[in-house]
């Protein structure tokens, strides 16, 4: 069984995150041996430098936090992120198109971004708090069809984060065809363990140090 720290993407995505705060994030990630740090794209080179010599990955976000930019913009942003050294990319799908039932558009966009990142891990944020159950199921189908590696619950910037019910549903939907990342609002050790029990392979949180200390 992998150790608990390796479930955690140590996250800092706030607009006012300073380079100093990112350096601290990387130091904590190395100390705790987290799976990755998750930062906005402009901080990828800084994280690569700070994490040199460790096995902590650099994860970044694409089309964040709304997911409503053009496919072309997402593809460029993803390719640029990989060029800058990102090991993993978390993209936001086009929620409006999903809700309109334009599932081919959504799946094709995911596939285009996956092509841009190549062998790197692609996680797709579906923003569960804005979707009904049918839409969540459709989103998962698009994630699998598009060839992404993970379905992720939330940006942490909308009306809600990961819930136990959603993690269980996403796991049921993707089975072994993709993994599940729970993000947004995972702040206690008990919640953390429960998310893993329900099928989460990764936890995105800004409270990683506290979760392990508990």
Known catalytic residues? Answer: 90, 152, 181
Residue 126 near residue 136, CB atoms below 8 Å: yes
User: In this structure, what are the phi and psi dihedrals at residue 183, rounded to the nearest 5 degrees?
Assistant: -140, 145
Quote the CA–CA distance of 204 and 184 in Å, as a whole number.
7
Quote the CA–CA distance of 96 and 139 in Å, as a whole number.
12
Residue 98 near residue 139, CB atoms below 8 Å: yes
Q: Burial level of 131, CB count in 10 A (0-12/13-18/19+)? A: middle
Structure tokens at 17: 């995150």
Of 22, 54, 55, 24, nearest to 38 by C-alpha is 22
């Amino acid at each position: 069984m992998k150790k608990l720290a390796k479930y955690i993407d140590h996250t800092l995505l706030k607009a006012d995150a300073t380079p100093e705060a990112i350096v601290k994030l990387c130091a904590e990630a190395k100390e705790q041996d987290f799976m990755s740090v998750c930062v906005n794209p402009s901080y990828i080179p800084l994280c690569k430098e700070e994490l040199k010599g460790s096995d902590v990955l650099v994860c970044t976000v694409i089309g964040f936090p709304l997911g409503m930019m053009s496919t072309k913009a997402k593809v460029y942003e993803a390719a640029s992120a990989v060029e800058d050294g990102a090991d993993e990319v978390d993209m936001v799908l086009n929620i409006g198109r999903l809700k309109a039932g334009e599932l081919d558009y959504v799946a094709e966009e995911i596939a285009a971004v996956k092509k841009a990142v190549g062998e790197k891990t692609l996680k797709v944020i579906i923003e569960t708090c804005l979707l009904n159950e049918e839409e969540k199921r459709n989103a998962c189908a698009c994630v699998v069809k598009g060839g992404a590696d993970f379905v992720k619950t939330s940006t942490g910037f909308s009306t809600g984060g990961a819930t136990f019910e959603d993690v269980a549903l996403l796991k049921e939907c993707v089975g072994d065809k993709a993994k599940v990342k729970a993000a947004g609002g995972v702040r206690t050790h008990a919640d953390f363990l429960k998310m893993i029990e329900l099928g989460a392979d990764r936890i995105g949180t800004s409270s990683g140090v506290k979760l392990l200390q508990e």
